[in-house]
A and B are shown apart, each in its own frame.
Chain A
Amino acid sequence: MTTRQVEAPPISALRHKDLLGISDLTADEILLILDTAEAMREIGDRPIKKVPALRGKTVVNLFFEASTRTRTSFEIAEKRLSADTLNIAATASSVVKGETLVDTALNLEAMAPDMIVLRHAASGACHLLSRICRAGIINAGDGMHEHPTQALLDAFTIREHKKSIAGLKVAIIGDLLHSRVLRSNVQLLTKLGADVWVSGPPTLMPAGIERQGVRKTTSVDEAVEGADVVMLLRLQIERMQGMFFPSLREYFTVFGMTRERLKLAKHDVIIMHPGPMNRGVEIDSEVADGPYSVILEQVSNGVSVRMAVLYLLAGGAEHETAV
């Protein structure tokens, strides 16, 4: 009798130069990233939190939008893999002197970085760079389009608590319209077979969201009922042009996650939030700090997941020529 106990991922490589969005990944590729992240996590528990895997690789973190979590998380991940990192924030760069994104990228490219981690307010900015740069591009959030590493770390966190993602009821509640986290998460979770429900004010519901294989409802209670995972999204006031709801206070009353409302979910529900969170708007403090909250675990897991992505992409474009 042949028994194979060595767990092998169904595939062993990401044959991509870039990570632009979850839409480019297959379910197997997503699982490979999550399995690799599992192996990376232990490095953070060592006395010397560093491995030489990306020694001599240069990674540029190019951030055109404010970010604490994502930028720090990428930087720690790069450093744990021994890459040389440099951070460019838009406010401190030539962008304020009128340079375009393409020119900034071409100038960086001339200094031969191996990878560029890009955050930009315009949807599709990463796709633009990926066409003109030899360096691998990792999307750290582009406008209202995608934020793939956030969805991957969310999936990693869910898997850690629920073993598998297939068949789970996941309720995503909040400002759906402006959320790139939503778009990445919907694609990832449906690819892995979750039952995804979205809920929020009709004014903040993207048109045609139900065609993405999710169920939508304006009743938060309906979305939360029997949920294994409740994910809350911030109201992105800075992206809102016009009135989408009467007041923050009313939003909290109708859509905010309170302990009372959470009783409708499964008894072992987990509460997630990609941050930054607005207490008393989309989430009650009692829930954010409560026993079901895995919000800070998401942050820790972000480092492992980003290490996995950096490592798997590091071979870069050469992969495409591999048979």
Chain B
Amino acid sequence: MPIIMDADRMGRTLMRIAHEIIERNRGVDGLAIVGIRTRGVFIARRLAKALQQIASEPVPTGALDITLYRDDLMRHAVGPQPVVRRTEIPFSIDDQKVVLVDDVLYTGRTIRAALDALIDFGRPKEIQLTVLIDRGHRELPIKADYVGKNVPTSLKESVHVRLIETDGTDEISVDNVPEEKS
């Protein structure tokens, strides 16, 4: 279980991304942060805090649940429906620059769903994407604007993100998935 990011590194990475966001957008004016449930929300909140530290201005932060927009929702022959959680975007995203935040970028399908969901809330001026880990293997033409760490992985591996808020510790590791039983 090789650890690819510990708590210290995660903190520094988020601070670096916050600086990049401010550099590219020339400040935090008209900026809004939206995290994708579950772990993206907590990363988004930390990022918003870092942005506020640097720019001394609060940045509106929201949470997006993409379950109802998944492209595989009704396709599984077997298996329960995924649990739906609440979306909370308590501000208008019209003409805002929305920074979408997720933990791991993989196939890109979650982000595709998130883009569809966001558009239902209004017409943002721009949507930018932040991910903590980009592990490759894209199935859609999607690319992150801010990446914590690029981690080349094989399809047999899985990336585990643990956060204090959900798992009691800040740590990202790459694990081997046991052979699928058929």
**Chain A interface residues toward B at CB < 8 A:** 1-6, 8-9, 12-15, 32, 35-36, 38-40, 42-43, 46-48, 50-57, 81, 308, 311-312, 314-315, 318-319, 321-322
Contacts and interface: CB of A to CB of B under 8 A. Distances in A.
A38 to B, nearest CB: 6
Interface stretch (B69-77, B99-107, B150-158): B69-77
Contacts of A314: 74, 81
A39 B87 contact: yes
13 contacts: A8-B83, A14-B80, A14-B81, A39-B65, A39-B86, A40-B84, A52-B68, A52-B69, A311-B81, A312-B81, A314-B74, A315-B74, A315-B79
A322 B81 contact: no
A315 B68 contact: no
A56 B122 CA distance: 24
Interface in B48-92: 65, 67-69, 73-74, 76-88
A42 B84 contact: no
Contacts of B117: 51
Contacts of B38: 6
B116 interface: yes
B165 interface: yes
A56 B80 CA distance: 19
Given A52-B68, A52-B116, A39 B165 contact: no
B139 interface: no
A150 to B, nearest CB: 22
B120 interface: yes
A142 B39 CA distance: 43
Nearest to A313: B81
B86 A46 contact: no
B124 to A, nearest CB: 13
Contacts of A42: 86-88
A4 B166 contact: yes
Given A46-B121, A57-B74, A13 B80 contact: yes
B179 interface: no
Contacts of A308: 84
